[in-house]
Amino acid sequence: MSTTSSGIRFDSVTVAYDGNVVLDALDLTVGPGEVMALLGPSGSGKTTALRAVAGFVRPASGRVFLGDRDVTALPPHRRGIGMVVQQYALFPHMRVEDNVAFGLKARKAAKAEIRTRVSEALEMTGMGAYARRHPRELSGGQQQRVAIARALAVRPDVLLLDEPLSALDAQLRSGMLAELARLHRELPDVSILYVTHDQVEALTLADRIAVMDKARLQACGTPRELYRAPANAFTASFVGNANLLPVTVGAGGVSFGEAEIKVDTGGAAAGASATLCVRPHLVGLGDGPNRITGTVREIQWRGATHRLYVDVAGHQVMADVRELREPPVLGEAVTVHFAADDAVLLPAGVGRD
Ligand SMILES: Nc1ncnc2c1ncn2[C@@H]1O[C@H](COP(=O)(O)OP(=O)(O)OP(=O)(O)O)[C@@H](O)[C@H]1O
Ligand SMILES: [Mg+2]
């Protein structure tokens, strides 16, 4: 399958419905061959961003580029895009092969070409043997593959996937995740914008993740960057678990309740309120640097770890502790600690609701 690299660029794209801004001046670039996950809660504007790229919604302002082509005014069928919509609606009365051929017929491709491309797309998605079936004769995962085959059949430069796995159960989903990763290895030039609200999908598939909330882009970076050094509390809580402790900046560190914590304050003004982010698996039980004492409120055994919820002056600190032979009991006073390097100071703010 031959494709040309292009990439996607949102240049300050704003979309409004009835004067209600649901996508607010989005600036985002997806490089040629890059997989970008768009991660965010329901209603944050993810589907809207995709629809703006596909041409199903017209921005109130801003421009959409595919490669160096400004496509803002182009109709959807002239954009060279494959899209799998959120409810991957296959046409129920059409056989699999006709579903996959749909976009090609709409583009008035020659019969022979349609035949080649349909069988090629079905082979790529492992659905070669199902061409004559109707959607109702397929499992959810198989229907999903057909929806992806249909998007691939037009040999898009850009593939838009809107929560393509959300209808599948956990096991099928992880199988399809691996398939999507393989598909992308086979089509290394295709840029993929992948909408999800599942952080595991985003962390698994994406080269970079764009985190959306309330119509705005909150952060964008590699999964590792967002996990290790989130830009704000929302991102920290949306990409992985996070303790978000309200702290006050002091000299050479912060104070959290009674505890003094050494951490790089990055020039934050003394006396300012801030949020300290520490991942639960980096919090250890027992004495150490940056120790905090509190009371065990809850203990959950999670197989490989115990998750302790420790109440510290009305705030909750989560610690995921491995190999805990004798876990503390509820109500017990415990000390937890973490390394200064494992804490990141963020602007004051709360995580996801
Ligand atoms: N056609 C429309 N008319 C009016 N409002 C709309 C329309 N489509 C979407 N919206 C609103 O725009 C906002 C963003 O919707 P969008 O579908 O982009 O969210 P999303 O991030 O994809 O959410 P989800 O995870 O639930 O799919 C929502 O508040 C939604 O109600
Ligand atoms: Mg959506």
> For 308-316, what is the mean pLDDT?
93
Asked if the model's pLDDT at residue 254 lies above 60, the reply is: yes
Exposure class string for 210-230: b at 16+ Cβ within 10 A, else e: bbbbebebbbbbebebbbeeb
pLDDT (tens digit, 9 = 90+) per residue, 268-309?
889 999 999 999 999 999 998 899 999 999 999 988 899 999
Instruction: Check: CB of residue 99 under 8 Å from CB of residue 148.
Output: no
Position 331 scores a pLDDT of 95
Ligand 1 pocket residue status of 44, Cβ below 6 Å: yes
Å from CA of 45 to ligand 1 middle: 6
Position 88 scores a pLDDT of 64
Residue nearest to atom 22 of ligand 1 (CA): 47
Which of helix, strand or coil describes residue 112? helix
d(CA 330, CA 192): 48
169: pLDDT confidence band, cut at 50, 70 and 90?
Answer: confident
Instruction: Check: CB of residue 35 under 8 Å from CB of residue 192.
Output: yes
Position 1 scores a pLDDT of 36
Probe ligand 1: pick from 22, 50, 86, 198, max atoms within 8 Å of CB?
Answer: 22
Ligand 1 atom index nearest CA of 20: 5
Mean pLDDT of the chain: 91
Ligand 1 atom index nearest CA of 49: 18
353: pLDDT confidence band, cut at 50, 70 and 90?
Answer: low
Q: Which run of H or E residues covers position 230?
A: none
Ligand 1 atom index nearest CA of 215: 14
Å from CA of 86 to ligand 2 middle: 6
> For 14-26, what is the mean pLDDT?
96
Asked if the model's pLDDT at residue 4 lies above 50, the reply is: no
219 CA to centre of own chain: 11
Ligand 1 atom index nearest CA of 86: 27
What's 204's DSSP letter?
H
Residue nearest to atom 19 of ligand 1 (CA): 43
The amino acid at 250: G
CA atoms within 13 A on the CB side of 207: 15
Instruction: Check: CB of residue 343 under 8 Å from CB of residue 278.
Output: yes
241 CA to centre of own chain: 14
Position 155 scores a pLDDT of 86
Position 26 scores a pLDDT of 98
Position 80 scores a pLDDT of 86
d(CA 247, CA 317): 13
Position 2 scores a pLDDT of 35
111: pLDDT confidence band, cut at 50, 70 and 90?
Answer: very high
What the block records as the tokens of 57 is: 């919604």
pLDDT (tens digit, 9 = 90+) per residue, 113-157?
999 999 999 998 889 999 999 999 998 888 988 998 998 898 888
Å from CA of 105 to ligand 1 middle: 30
Å from CA of 41 to ligand 1 middle: 11
Probe ligand 1: pick from 10, 17, 50, 83, max atoms within 8 Å of CB?
Answer: 17
**Closest alpha carbon to 351 in 207, 199, 249, 162:** 199
Q: How far is CA 25 from CA 38, 49, 315, in A?
A: 15, 11, 36
> For 309-320, what is the mean pLDDT?
94
Ligand 1 pocket residue status of 45, Cβ below 6 Å: yes
Instruction: Check: CB of residue 247 under 8 Å from CB of residue 254.
Output: yes
Ligand 1 pocket residue status of 232, Cβ below 6 Å: no
Predicted structure pTM score: 0.86
Position 3 scores a pLDDT of 40
d(CA 191, CA 206): 11
**Closest alpha carbon to 32 in 209, 189, 222:** 189
Position 175 scores a pLDDT of 80
Asked if the model's pLDDT at residue 62 lies above 50, the reply is: yes
Asked if the model's pLDDT at residue 87 lies above 90, the reply is: no
Which class for 29: exposed (0-12), middle (13-18), buried (19 or more C-beta within 10 A)? middle
Ligand 1 atom index nearest CA of 51: 18
Residue nearest to atom 2 of ligand 1 (CA): 17
Helices first, then strands: H and E counts in the chain: 8, 20
pLDDT (tens digit, 9 = 90+) per residue, 214-242?
999 999 999 999 998 999 999 999 888 89
Ligand 1 pocket residue status of 16, Cβ below 6 Å: no
d(CA 35, CA 333): 46
Ligand 1 atom index nearest CA of 163: 27
Ligand 1 pocket residue status of 19, Cβ below 6 Å: no
